[in-house]
Structure 1
Amino acid sequence: MIRGGIRGSQVQEREIVQRNLALQRQWYGEPLGDRVRRLVVAYRTSQTQLAEVLGISAPMLSQVMSGRRAKIGNPSVLARLVMLERKVFDSGVLAGEAESVKQALRDVKTSRPSLGRDSVPVEDRADGEESAWPVLRRLARPRELHRVAELLDEQHPALAGLLRRAACSDTGVS
């Protein structure tokens, strides 16, 4: 009887995790674990250190990543997550410069962000691509975006295409 109870609770826990991951896809575009893992790699940091930068406890971040919790309840934590995702494209961070990475982490950790109606992108296209264009255009001029697209063409053609469309979206150039 105990075995059936244990097995039943494991099944129930798996169902909860699957439901939470589905909710994360709906709310955040993808599971938060995927987003956080990319940041851990990009900033060459640990999950615990990243939690500290975000302003969330390491166990809470772990629960959100694994799907045991569905959402990040604190809007400032979510805003910091988005800030880190955007800072990945800073030239020094992209180049892996240790001081740039440390500075980006410090900037986000000490920030006092808020999410408002104007700070959350509204996606015009079904795939959300247009919401990336302003960020890319703030980071580089159209000519630079085209050059980077050329570098990525062979191994990452979809990303290269996105960069080209961002470069052309406000200039009318193709």
Structure 2
Amino acid sequence: MHLRTVKGVARVSVAEDTVVRNRALQTEWYGEPLGDRVRPLLDRLGLSQSGLAGVLGLSPPMLSQLMSGQRAKISNPAVLHRLMAVEEFVAAAGFDALTAAEVKERLAEIGAESAVTTSGVRMGAVERGPAGGARGRVSAESARLVQAVLREVASAAEIEAAAALIADRFPDLAEVLRVYGNGRTSEAEAHFIRTILDHG
């Protein structure tokens, strides 16, 4: 009995250590633990974990494991892209004025988004042209895609270190790393419009 208890404690300790480590990794990769990012979205949207998992393109158990720290990394960049899109949607000034049907429609649109190639993004931006709503939607989605790729391959600290290394010789490239790697989505969107749409 005593041995079983000791082993049980050891197993719990290992599991707790794993969660602590995974949450620390999530903070490094995503700015904060994923549970802390996702729970406010559930509250604002009035969704269950299962409902949000469907929007993000994850299985409910996978989302639960990411939120609890049992799993550290979002392995699919398209999922991170959708998470950032949902966060931006919920943070928008007009969100509270939307009807339940409008919220549901936008979430369906986000769920249908996928990580596309840079050339595909460029073509989409050119085809839609400078019309206000479409232009804004394309620039926001494109900026999030670049953010998702950078944040998938490097932590915030690594991106900043890389930017510092090249800042003297390649200042524009260093700015791209900082804006898309560590900046807010609104800053990345403004940069995208300046560099791609306005000079496309």
TM-score (norm 2): 0.59
C-alpha displacement of 1:65: 0.3
**Identity across aligned pairs (percent)?**
39
Q: Contact (CA 8 Å) 1:24, 1:30: kept in 2 or not?
A: yes
Q: Contact (CA 8 Å) 1:92, 1:101: kept in 2 or not?
A: no
2:96 alignment counterpart: 94
Q: Take 1:79 and 1:91, find their aligned partners in 2: how far apart are those partners? A: 20
Q: C-alpha offsets along residues 1-58 of structure 1, whole Å, 9 cap, x if unaligned?
A: 0110010000010000000000000000000001111111121111100001100000
Where does 1:74-93 land on structure 2 (aligned, <5 Å)?
Answer: 74-93=76-95
Cα 1:115–1:75 change in 2 (3 A) is farther
C-alpha displacement of 1:89: 3.2
1:112 alignment counterpart: 114
2:39 alignment counterpart: 37
Cα 1:115–1:3 change in 2 (3 A) is farther
C-alpha displacement of 1:103: 1.5
Q: C-alpha offsets along residues 54-105 of structure 1, whole Å, 9 cap, x if unaligned?
A: 0000000000000000011111111110111111134542335212211221
Unmatched segments (≥5 aa) in structure 2: 119-141, 151-176, 191-200
Where does 1:5-84 land on structure 2 (aligned, <5 Å)?
Answer: 5-84=7-86
Equivalent residue in structure 2 for 1:134, among 181, 187, 190? 187
Q: Contact (CA 8 Å) 1:17, 1:67: kept in 2 or not?
A: yes
Cα 1:92–1:135 change in 2 (3 A) is farther
Supply the AA of the counterpart residue of 2:106: A
Q: Take 2:71 and 2:102, find their aligned partners in 1: how far apart are those partners? A: 32
Cα 1:30–1:108 change in 2 (3 A) is same
C-alpha displacement of 1:132: 4.8
User: More helix by proportion, 1 or 2?
Assistant: 2
TM-score (norm 1): 0.68
C-alpha displacement of 1:109: 1.1
Supply the AA of the counterpart residue of 2:22: N
Q: Which fold has the larger relative contact order, with Cα–Cα distance below 8 Å and residues 6 or more apart in sequence? A: 2
Q: Take 2:18 and 2:47, find their aligned partners in 1: how far apart are those partners? A: 29
* RMSD across aligned positions (CA): 2.6
Cα 1:77–1:113 change in 2 (3 A) is same
Q: Take 2:80 and 2:117, find their aligned partners in 1: how far apart are those partners? A: 8
Q: Take 1:60 and 1:21, find their aligned partners in 2: how far apart are those partners? A: 15
Q: C-alpha offsets along residues 120-164 of structure 1, whole Å, 9 cap, x if unaligned?
A: 17446xxx5x53543797xxxxxxxxxxxxxxxxxxxxxxxxxxx
Moved more, 13-22 or 83-92: 83-92
Cα 1:59–1:93 change in 2 (3 A) is same
Specify the SS of the correspondent of 2:91.
coil
Cα 1:136–1:99 change in 2 (3 A) is farther
Q: Take 1:51 and 1:13, find their aligned partners in 2: how far apart are those partners? A: 24
